[in-house]
Amino acid sequence: MTKLRLGYIGLGRMGKPMAINLLKAGYPLIVYNRSHGKVQELVNLGALAATSPKQVAAESDVVFTNLPDTPDVLAVALGKDGIIEGAHEGLICIDNSTIKPSASREIYAALKPLGMSCLDAPVSGGDIGAQQGTLAIMVGGDADALEKVMPILQVIGKTITHVGGPGSGQVAKAANQIMVAAQMVAMGELLIFAQKAGANPRKVVEAIKGGAAQCWTLDVKPQRLFAGNREPGFRSALQAKDLNIIMETAREYGLSLPSVALDNQLYAALCAMDLGELDNSGIISIIETLNNEALRIDEE
């Protein structure tokens, strides 16, 4: 059976390993990225290079986008030389970016009349999940379109959930980021609290991981922090961007999210300190500054 022709637009920290996994699975792949060096890496692995998103769409059965923010996705999907100009009957567009739900619905409404199907399919799992093909993928859009591309998504993700109609995948990702930010801030606070109050934070983490506080964040992040490693991972600047999306969406619906509002301010402060390139667990830097207490990295 002939495999569907795939296109991938956006070869960043997440997009590049995801595109590589699609290539490894034997799918014909055409790629586009503003930075040509990353395109060449994929070409060296067997992909074709495109000169525009329009060309990617025109030469694909399924086109993925994975871009930094809402304006980037809108421009690539609906702008000059964008996907809309290469649209054709049956083309399926899958957006792996994290953007505003309202933007996903706008793209769906613009491309659906052209015979296209659009799925908003943001991911969670970080760069390791992208490399290993174990991402969680939250999908909004038409169920029949998802059914057609499910074997493709199973190459890049381990858990694929159809949340609902257009924009629902982005709503789920926003909810995910509410929890992630809260956990990162809470972890930073508990580590500094434990240390300043005279307990070994390593031992505290071991003690509480076996109870109600157990979570992925405590399973993975403290060990990196104790080793002095605050490299991403998932960049704090992107966490800040996602929190902005959540707050903008909350205002659209008249919602009050006080905890998110505080986390949003903390990540904004981290970025203002030129620390946005740190892992999102690097929010501990703000907690350290507020308490004049640096997490010790030499404890055993």
**196 labelled catalytic:** no
The rounded Cα 40 to chain-centroid distance in angstroms is 23
Q: Single out the catalytic residue among 16, 173, 221, 241.
A: 173
SS3 198: coil
Topology of the domain covering 6-164: Rossmann fold (3.40.50)
> What's the confidence (pLDDT) of residue 298?
66
> What's the confidence (pLDDT) of residue 1?
64
> What's the confidence (pLDDT) of residue 92?
98
Going residue by residue through the chain, which has 300 residues, state the pLDDT in tens, using 9 for 90 and above.
678 999 999 999 999 999 999 999 999 999 999 988 999 999 999 999 999 999 999 999 999 999 999 999 999 999 999 999 999 999 999 999 999 999 999 999 999 999 999 999 999 988 889 999 999 999 999 999 999 999 999 999 999 999 999 999 999 999 999 999 999 999 999 999 999 999 999 999 999 999 999 999 999 999 999 999 999 989 999 999 999 999 999 999 999 999 999 999 999 999 999 999 999 999 999 999 999 999 998 644
Query: How far is Cα 218 from Cα 159, in angstroms, rounded to an integer?
Result: 21
Topology of the domain covering 172-291: N-(1-d-carboxylethyl)-l-norvaline Dehydrogenase; domain 2 (1.10.1040)
> What's the confidence (pLDDT) of residue 2?
79
SS3 156: helix
Nearest Cα to Cα of residue 54 among 30, 85, 23: 85
Q: What are the domain boundaries of the chain?
A: 6-164, 172-291
